[in-house]
Each structure stands twice: as structure tokens, then as C-alpha cells.
Amino acid sequence: MKELTNEERCLLQWIMEETDKGNVDNISRTVFYEKFYKRHREIKWSLLAAMVSRNAGYNMCDLKGEWVGRVLSEKTRSWLFYTYERANWLIFSDAYPQLLLYEQSKSTGKPLFHLLPYLNVSRFMKREWEVFWMVKDEERLWTSLIINEQHVIQKPVIEHPFLKRKVFRSLPFKMQEWFHFSTVLFPTRNGEIYGLSVNGFRSVENRILLGRRLGWLLFQSKWKDDFLDFASHTDHTGSRFDYEKYIYPWKRKDTPFLRMAYPIIKHGRGKLPDWSLKKKKLGQFYKPISLPEQVLLTDWYEKKQKQMQVGILLEELFM
């Protein structure tokens, strides 16, 4: 890499400082993603990242809520929280500098993507930003960012030896039966919930497919305006009460606000190897996808909540 100018060094330092400001916790990440989308509506991935980040917050707060704590040990819940937190921290630390560099490129009228390697961004994304700058294919860009983010977390989180042993291979079977940790929900203010699930979430291919289907649901389905309306009018606290209040006006809050439940976690990233140097067949991820038949999950959500609560009460009774 060539030597940087003083102006380039200052820009990179500013990008890193701004990224640190946004990467404090789940709440700040969600806010920064949403604010960026409002400034640059063509970068749709930023809104998708915000909606998925909201779901990560819901899952984190479930772990401190009224029900989950009754069946999972504190240690297991701590590992689960760290898994969500680590994955989302890594994605933001990789993606948000890309967004800011695009913003600066747009502001100056010239592409600055030659600086991406200095931010430890994959060669794959450098090429994809250069393509987007020329052809403005919004769907290709959000697909590329989905591909990138899921590969970024694969080795350090999904395949991390400790997390693989303590979380991904040892969670109780009831986690998959009672809870919806592998389902991403897009609420609306009219009291309906839409969403999609992933089977085999440890597979990077499965998570990329989920992300692409979520992109369709958020940006191309007939409900897209309802989802944007929810995000625009509902502050993210981490509690499922953020959207349950629209479905069940009589229900009391049974999961806490995230910032009242968890301390700030300090992370270190180090220099991760470029995942794209070993991945050659990425064209498959741009092929047309099959669309799900059922995305309205309001009734499913209510049944799942009741099943979870009854199951927990029965377990407590017999134990």
C-alpha cells in the first residue's frame, strides 16, 4: 500500500473515531445505522442492519427478562449475550467505516475506496464499492454487504472454539423449541409482525440467504413503508415492549431496557485476515432467490410466547 497523505491520514483517523462513537452498545449501533440511512437512502443495507440490530437487542434483553432467566443459568445467559454483542460489534466495526468512506466520497465527488484496505476491509468490498460508484446497483450493494458481514463473523464468532463449545453446540434443546433466537422480526405500528427464520444458523450460506430474503421483505415487499414507519417513530430500547405495545396495548413490560440491564463491553478486534482471499465462488449469492410464502408472524408470535411460558411453568412445577 502506498504512503498516505496527511489529508488521508486525518480522514482515516476521523472515521475510526466516529466508528468508536457508534460502536458503544446495541442502542448506539442501531441509532447510527438509522441516521446514516436517513442521510443516504440509496445505501439500503444500513436500514437492514438497523432492523437486525433491533432484533439483537430484543434477544439480549430477553436474557434478562421475566421468563428466560427462569430456565437458563446465569452463565449460559452471559455467554449468549456476549455472542450477540461480539457479532454485532464486529459487523459495525467493519461496516460503518465503509459507510463513512462512501459518505466522504459522495461529499467530495470522487471515490475514496482505495483507502478501504487501511481500514482492514476485505478486497471483496473494495471492489463492490467501486462497482456501486459506477453503476449504482443498490440491490447488488446490499447483497454484497450481507455476504461480507456474515463472512466477517464466521471465524471469530461462529467458529470460535470457546463459543462453539459453550454456545452453539451446548444450548439446551428447548432453546430452539421455545425461543425465537433464529427469527428476525419486522414489527409495524398497526400491530402486525412480519419476519423470517433461519435453519442451520451456523452456516454462512444459510445466514446470507436469510439476509437476502430480509432485504426483499424490507425493501421490495408491499409492507416496506410500514417497516420504515415503525423505525422512524419507535425509539429502540432493546425491550420487546418497543413493538409489543402496538400488538397488546394492555400488556405490561416483561423485558428490561438494554441500558438498564447490561454494562458497556470493551472489545478488541485486531487485524483479521481477509476472508475474501480464500473465497472464490461468490457469484452464487447473487442469483435469484426463492421467496417465502409466509412472512406474517403475528399469530405465530403470540402462540410461541404462550408455548414458552406454559413450558417454563410446567418445568418448574415438575422440578
Mean pLDDT, contiguous 10-residue spans, the chain (319 residues): 91 98 98 98 98 96 90 88 95 98 98 97 98 98 98 92 75 55 92 91 92 97 98 98 95 95 90 87 93 92 86 77
Instruction: Tell me the helices (H) and strands (E) count for the chain, helix number first.
Output: 13, 2
Question: H-type helices in 63-202, by residue range?
Answer: 74-108, 123-135, 138-153, 161-163, 173-178
Q: To 10 degrees, the CA torsion angle through 46, 107, 138, 88?
A: -20
Q: Would you state the pLDDT for residue 71? A: 80
Number of neighbouring beta carbons within 10 Å of residue 86: 17
DSSP bridge partners of 193: 187
- Give the separation between CA 80 and CA 129, rounded to whole angstroms: 33
What is the distance between the alpha carbons of residues 196 and 247, in angstroms, rounded to a whole number?
A: 18
From the CB of residue 50, how many other CB atoms can be counted at a distance below 10 Å?
Answer: 21
C-alpha pair distances (Å), 206 with each of 8, 144, 226: 38, 15, 26
Q: Which of 238, 216, 240 is nearest to 304 (CA)?
A: 240
Residue 258 near residue 239, CB atoms below 8 Å = yes
Asked if 99 contacts 46 with a C-beta cutoff of 8 angstroms, the reply is yes
Burial zone of 180 (CB within 10 Å; 0-12 exposed, 13-18 middle, 19+ buried): buried
